[in-house]
Amino acid sequence: MQQLLDTCRLGIMGGTFDPIHLGHLVAAEAAREQFDLEQVLFVPARLPPHKQDREITPAEHRYAMVLLATANHPRFVASRVELDRPGPSYTVDTLRLLRAEHPRAGLCFITGADALMELDTWKDPEELLRLCRMIVVSRPGCDRERLREKAADLQRRMPCHIEELAAPALAISSRDLRQRVAEGKSLRYLVPREVRDYILKHHLYRRGAATP
């Protein structure tokens, strides 16, 4: 597999994954199919740079849920690349590491439209865009015209490949799922069963629960 990845396209789905849900998995699967990705790495951020002012579930819980959600897909892999690194989890640092590990692979970073709109605020955006092709998932309610303008603007300013992904639309968000748990509502058919069981077993997202 290592050898294969050296020449193939490797998808990288970065996220806070608090928790991972079917929207993430459907987007990753659509990207895998549409862009012929050999493997999709799910990379939970240990310390998401843009969420340092917020309470986030400990990374090991988020990683465990990613592991459970991806276990039965032969081409999905949960990655610890950001968990085992101190400091904020900057995407460009992750891409540098993956580039060093797979010098000839085509790195494809899969991201949501919201993230692309803020890409200029990320660390070293120019280098980041040199290291990978961006696959941008447009979601329900996303302004596709604005998204295309943003992609065109970035492409004018720096050499990069940005592609829009046509994925089946699932209006699920991690924030809504946390809210649902806090209100005692069901997670059925929104997250994989194993993830739901994990959340219940570890009392994650319960109102008043000590931050797990």
Residues that bind ligand NAP (CB under 6 A): 14-17, 23-24, 27, 45, 48-50, 89-92, 111-115, 122-123, 137, 139, 170, 172-174
Give 5 or 42: the residue with its C-beta nearer to ligand NAP: 42
Smallest distance, Å, CB 3 to ligand NAP? 27
Q: For ligand NAP, which is the closer residue by CB, 105 or 115?
A: 115
Pick 50 or 207: Cβ nearer ligand NAP? 50
Provide, rounded to whole angstroms, the least separation between the CB of residue 127 and ligand NAP.
Answer: 11
Q: What is the torsion angle, in degrees rounded to the nearest 10, for the CA atoms of residue 177, residue 182, residue 188 and residue 191? A: 40
Nearest-approach distance from CB 89 to ligand NAP, in angstroms: 5
The residue with tokens 């999905």 is 76
Round to whole Å and give the CA distance between 40 and 175: 24
Give the closest residue to 25 by CA, choosing from 89, 68, 58.
68
Long-range CB contacts for residues 198-206, cutoff 8 Å, separation at least 24:
198/61, 198/64, 198/65, 198/68, 199/19, 199/65, 202/61, 204/19, 204/57, 204/61, 205/19, 205/57, 205/177, 205/178, 205/181, 206/181, 206/182
C-alpha 54/C-alpha 41 separation (Å) is 25
**Least distance from ligand NAP to the Cβ atom of residue 153, Å:** 18
Is omega for the bond preceding 140 within 30 degrees of 0, making it cis? Answer: no
Q: Which CB, 90 or 205, lies closer to ligand NAP? A: 90
End-to-end, the C-alpha distance of the chain in Å comes to 36
Nearer to ligand NAP, 132 or 137 (CB): 137
Distance in Å, CB of 42 to ligand NAP, minimum: 9
Q: Whose CB is nearest to ligand NAP?
A: 112
DSSP 134: E
CA distances (Å), origin 203, targets 1, 60, 170: 37, 14, 25
Q: Of 6 and 163, which CB lies nearer to ligand NAP in the complex structure?
A: 163
User: Rounded to the nearest whole angstrom, what is the least distance from the CB of residue 174 to ligand NAP in the complex?
Assistant: 5
